[in-house]
Amino acid sequence: MQYYWIVEQAEYATDVMFTNPSALKPLYQELLKHATLCFSAEDVLTFLGRKLHGCFQGEVLNQYRKRWPGARVKHRMKENGIKMYDKHGSVLRIETVINHPYEFKVRRRGRRKGQEVLGWFPMSKGVANLYRYAEVSHAANSRYLEALSTVGDPAQAQQHLQKLANAISRNGRSYRGFNPAAKKDIDLFAAVLRGEHAIMGFRNRDILRQLFSQIKDLSTLRRLGARVSRLLKLLHIHQLIAKIPRSRRWRVTLKGQSIMGVVLKIHHDNYPSLLMNQAA
């Protein structure tokens, strides 16, 4: 990890070293595709420790750019952002760039209602806040890497993928498998894999809101909430998600990240090209 202070811009980088460039090249291509196709505006805000709400004013975007000798992807929230690129073919770098520190907060003394108090205030530019720059950036890099952990060696995931469609029996009851080509299952996988769930997990109502956002009737939503509960149980039976102890939240397992990530990749990447080839 390296930390730079350049004029009025702070950059904090996390480097992953590869002894063999041939090992990074295919993996990096998959990481670029995943970061470009799967990360939404909510995900970018989550990486930077923010939440999307009705009062948010600003621009959030993903930018992919080819450059010699490779490519880089950048996620920007207003003037701050995260970017990923490869250096010399053997270093994968995740870098958080802070141009406007006032978007973040630091614990310091300040005045509220005419009194001096110790609390969280907007972070200003200055050497005194360098430690806080590092804390914010390191946390953003860690969240980003955690979200990218769904991308891995597809060989093992494809073996599990063959079993995903098979029914499973538990306590004398049979539970259906998942269809990697069905839109309803694709939407469910995309909902639980959203980057905003990487930190605190997700609840029934989080998935309900993402799958049925267009429905406003309360009685219908209650009925659909019961359906979501059955879907979460089905994911749990297939070991794709696990319950967070002493809470009503769920988290995606490593197996779930691997398998569902491959399903989404096939859906967004392979299926369109296959359909175009069939049409030709």
Chain segment 212-226, per-residue pLDDT in tens: 988 888 888 888 999
Boundary (domain end) residue, out of 102, 117, 148? 148
d(CA 67, CA 186): 33
Boundary (domain end) residue, out of 101, 125, 148? 148
Say if residue 138 is in the same domain as residue 200.
Answer: no
Say if residue 97 is in the same domain as residue 144.
Answer: yes
pLDDT in tens, 122-134: 888 888 888 888 8
- What beta strand segments (E) does the chain contain? 2-6, 9-17, 60-67, 70-77, 80-87, 91-98, 105-112, 115-122, 168-170, 173-175, 241-243, 250-252
Boundary (domain end) residue, out of 107, 127, 148? 148
d(CA 255, CA 67): 34
Say if residue 124 is in the same domain as residue 208.
Answer: no
pLDDT in tens, 90-110: 888 999 999 888 888 999 888
Phi-psi region of 173 (alpha: psi -120 to 50; beta: other; left: phi over 0): beta
Say if residue 183 is in the same domain as residue 221.
Answer: yes
d(CA 44, CA 24): 24
DSSP strand pairing (91-98 vs 80-87): antiparallel
For residues 221-236, give the mean pLDDT: 92
Q: Which amino acid is at 113?
A: K
| pLDDT of 46 strictly over 60 | yes
- Total structural domains within the chain: 2
Say if residue 197 is in the same domain as residue 177.
Answer: yes
Q: How many Å separate Cα 198 from the centre of its chain?
A: 6
Q: Which domain holds residue 90?
A: 2-148
Say if residue 135 is in the same domain as residue 263.
Answer: no
Say if residue 10 is in the same domain as residue 83.
Answer: yes
Q: Which of 146, 152, 240 is nearest to 200 (CA)?
A: 146
